[in-house]
Structure 1
Amino acid sequence: MPAPFRSKSAGSRPPGRFRREDGPPPHRPGDIDEAVLYGVHPVIEALRNPKRRHRRLLATENALKRLQEEIGELPLQAELVRPSEIDRLLTPDSVHQGLYLVCDPLPSPDLDSLPDDAIVLALDQITDPHNVGAILRSAAAFAAAAVIVTIRHSPAATGVLAKSASGALEHVPLIAVRNLGDALAELGKRGFLRIGFDSDGEVAFDDVALRRPLVMVMGAEGKGLRQRSRELCDHVARLEVPGTITSLNVSNATAIALYAASRRR
């Protein structure tokens, strides 16, 4: 049984991708060699996830007590540190709550693994990790089977994204594909209904006859759906809203679309 923690000298520095001087991680979910998670919910859910291979855990005294209350026996030894030692591994605005975990990235499943009654999200080059994290959180809340992202032009599944997802990264698989258009074409052959979303869509989402399997395609911030993505969708739909502002943040629009789809099962 691993000891609950081991002490760490102030002069040493643990490895990690988010040292302040290093800048952000690469924006490619498929090629990172380690994931850095921080904050209570992301770290607790990752420690509970048997699919994760944990490498190193840093914890303050109070955070370690909370971990032991929540989890009991930890899957690895925690290194007891001061908050400032985690601060210098992260950007100044990062809220780590006394926890910092280095682990292996989760594997990316294949499209073939998706069940025949699935609701799936596809993100068309959404680059803001806060938005992708919030989308993952909504996907977990509404039991989406997976979120499809592109290997390029998508944020890495670590750091800010994981913190924004608040533990959902451990529950909703991220499927990284090289070409979203090819993935949508493949899903179409499998019988998926493909619905793209745009504030100027030709049909109201409420008027689309839904069926499963279903993939809902969300466009990038500002740019929206790319041309090929639009062409491969069976419908390009809009969310009907009663107010004067009809263009929603993509994470908000995704949450509404998931809720509407779940109510019409």
Structure 2
Amino acid sequence: MKRISVICGFLMSMCLSAQKIEVLNFATFHMGKTPDAVKVSFDPQSEKSQKEVFEIAKLLAEFKPTVICVELVPAENEKIQNDYHSFLKNKNHKAAYEGEVSLLAYQIGKLANVKKIYGIDEQETGQYNYRIGDQLKNQVDNITYKRFITTFIEGFKKQENLSVKEKLIDYNKESTLQDLIIANADILTYVSTAGHFEGADEAAKYYRRNLRMYSNLNQIPLSENDRVLIISGATHAAFFSEFLKRSPKYQSVNVFDYLK
């Protein structure tokens, strides 16, 4: 009986696993204007850059997504849909959204015949001061933050001469995603004055923003047959990667099955 119970439990878990919605969580740099401290050199008007991004679009379109999520707020979903459908109908349409939304998401959508593109960004959690480690005086530990951030920025500067594809391959590596969570949130827990939590409180704001973005994803109407592609800034993708690992609803797909 015990053996039968174990087998039944195993089969049930396999069935539940099979019902999960597949998600391809793609990390990118911002291909347009961005307030981010670390910016990637990229000219969206360059024909060379556009061709490089289109090659990435063709690779990701092989995932055959039915839904694409981008880093725009849900309040703009109607505008996004209208803009996307105008793009599909008119090859000369000037997209309302620049950067990775029009250069990557729209192109993938066209190639894969995607009907819906949703925004899942969140911007209402208040001002997030990611530079507090450079500003706060009388810190208990004035070494750990500065040492890590200096090394982190130096690492990104080494990417300047890489192709778009090479940069995106590096962005999607597990080691890079982990470093991005540290650089944008966890490292701030080392920034404080005695008895206070200045850095941790700023990090909490960023955790909250990403949790809310994930909640926005969870509010999109999806069926078991949907295949979801998320295109977002690499730090958001890093958080999503962690959330997806523990999800009872989604099955994370390996980016490098497509980004070859």
- Scaled to the shorter chain, the TM-score interval is under 0.3
Relative to its length, the structure with more helix (as a share) is 2
Structure of higher RCO (CA pairs closer than 8 Å, 6+ residues apart)? 2
TM-score normalised per structure 1: 0.26
TM-score normalised per structure 2: 0.27
